[in-house]
Structure 1
Amino acid sequence: MSSKLRLSIVVLALAACGSGSNPPSRLDDACAIVAQRPAYLRAMKKTERKWDVPVPVQMATIYQESKFDSDARTPHKYALGIIPMGRVSSAYGYSQALDGTWDDYRKEEGGRWAKRDNIRDATDFMGWYMDKTEKRNGIPKTDARRQYLAYHEGHTGYARGSYNSKDWLIRVARSVEARAAMYDAQLRSCRKR
């Protein structure tokens, strides 16, 4: 094997190991997020065109679910406080999609190569899911609070009102709504600059 080929293989292997990106540094500033990660905005705008889910709703949901960490996972469970028993759930990636829901998305829309740690696939998943939420539960895609409740509880859980007994989740959903409004105002101002 030639030294150039070996070097190419090593470079590709190292690039694959480092393919995950660190979250943007200023998560309370939508303009800073999109300036630091322009691919995020491109992915979200594509999802907005395809699924009609506003960019600020996508951003606020991703913030809440993963803080823009492509490798976000739920914490480990422990038996007796010390014996690792796996993770709390299978949620993973930017969108924190569960294995089963992600599999449904890949079968219906994303294709088998879609990855939860890819911002384009994660935002497309969110658009697909929120589109289903609007159809099944009648929640407008602009309603960040109720879309988040259905995102967290699932379509059936939301329809049953399972969130009503979870004060903490209602507070989180209000926070998502406020963040979506904040991101919307910020994005409007940075477009004017």
Structure 2
Amino acid sequence: MGRLLRLGILLLLVSCGGGRYSAPRDLDNACAIVDERPHYLAAMQSSERRWGVPVFVQMATIYQESKFVGNAKTPRKYALGFIPAGRRSSAYGYSQALDGTWDDYVADTRSFGARRNKIEDATDFIGWYMDRTERKLGISKWDAGGQYLAYHEGHGGYARGSHNQKAWLLRVASEVGQRSERYQMQLAACGKL
């Protein structure tokens, strides 16, 4: 009986805890994020070395896409207002990568074991995507707002100018750019750049 009780308590604690996919406590402070989760910084630095996308641009993108929640999913759709009818898209994980785009990344980089809910893979994906964005569309890897527009709309959508008809998206991209600049200043001030 003692072992069963301990097992039950352990299972209860594990199910109630935030788990390994929970967000860091202070999302407005880049230094607090990387102090709480040093492996995030290591993953972003690795992606920066490989693809040239600055850490603060990656951080601002992850903040906007998932608020640093590793297993983030899009909201559910409901038929008749109450019958679950799937999710709005296949976006998942830190980077909110869609199934097809993730499959392209895996095939292109030969990262066959990569997972969207693993920070190292998500940051590498962001670096890969933004590197392609710079090559295809000419958007600097340092331009977080411009990169975010292409990230959200896809390369084809951005090239067609689909973002120009979405005032809300232009506002969000501006916020991503501002957050990137704020994260850059914070990381410089705490010596993490």
Given the two structures, how large is their TM-score scaled by the length of structure 2? 0.89
AA partner of residue 80 (structure 1): L
AA partner of residue 109 (structure 1): T
- The residue number in structure 2 matching 1:20 is 20
List per-residue Cα deviations over 1:116-175 (Å, max 9, x = no partner): 000000000000000000011010100001100000000000000000110000000000
Structure 1 position 177 matched with structure 2 position 177: yes
- The residue number in structure 2 matching 1:149 is 149
AA partner of residue 127 (structure 2): G
Report the more deviating stretch, 127-136 or 19-28.
19-28
RMSD: 2.0
The separation in 2 between residues aligned to 1:25 and 1:140, in whole angstroms, is: 30
Say how many residue pairs are matched: 180
AA partner of residue 30 (structure 2): A
AA partner of residue 74 (structure 1): T
Cα offset for 1:112?
Answer: 1.5
The separation in 1 between residues aligned to 2:185 and 2:111, in whole angstroms, is: 34
List per-residue Cα deviations over 1:59-113 (Å, max 9, x = no partner): 0000000000001000000111111110000000000000000011111115221
Structure 1 position 43 matched with structure 2 position 43: yes
- The residue number in structure 1 matching 2:3 is none
The separation in 2 between residues aligned to 1:110 and 1:119, in whole angstroms, is: 17
AA partner of residue 154 (structure 2): G
Note the residue ranges of structure 2 that are not aligned, 5 or more in a row: 1-13
Structure 1 position 103 matched with structure 2 position 86: no
SS state at 1:173 partner: helix
Cα offset for 1:19?
Answer: 6.5
Structure 1 position 31 matched with structure 2 position 31: yes
- The residue number in structure 2 matching 1:117 is 117
Amino-acid identity (%): 63
- The residue number in structure 1 matching 2:57 is 57
AA partner of residue 67 (structure 1): K
The separation in 2 between residues aligned to 1:19 and 1:93, in whole angstroms, is: 14
- The residue number in structure 2 matching 1:81 is 81
Given the two structures, how large is their TM-score scaled by the length of structure 1? 0.89
The separation in 1 between residues aligned to 2:57 and 2:187, in whole angstroms, is: 12
Structure 1 position 167 matched with structure 2 position 170: no
